[in-house]
Amino acid sequence: MTANNTFNLEQFKNGAKVQTKLGNPVRFITVSNTGKLIVAVKPRWKQEEQATYNLDGKKYKGTTTAYDLVMA
């Protein structure tokens, strides 16, 4: 991952395109009062589904996965 596609929460909230590292489009919903990012993910052959992320765009704290968010 290069610096130019590193997840940026403020840009995402302002309408910038974001996807998972797998390439699935992601739509911003809200930031919860518990400090979690709530988004809608559109997998390739499924309905759009709601998912929860850390504010840094990582699916799981302390590890990197293919489900983490990057700027498109």
Starting at the earlier edge strand, list the strands of the sheet with 49-54.
49-54, 36-41, 25-31, 18-20, 69-71
Mean per-residue pLDDT for 29-37? 96
Q: What percent of the chain has pLDDT over 70?
A: 94
Model pTM score: 0.89
Give me the pLDDT at residue 2, please.
44
User: Residue 34 and residue 22: Cα distance in Å, rounded?
Assistant: 27
58 neighbors 9 (Cβ within 8 angstroms): no
Question: What is residue 28's DSSP assignment?
Answer: E
- Write out pLDDT tens, residues 57-68: 999 999 999 999
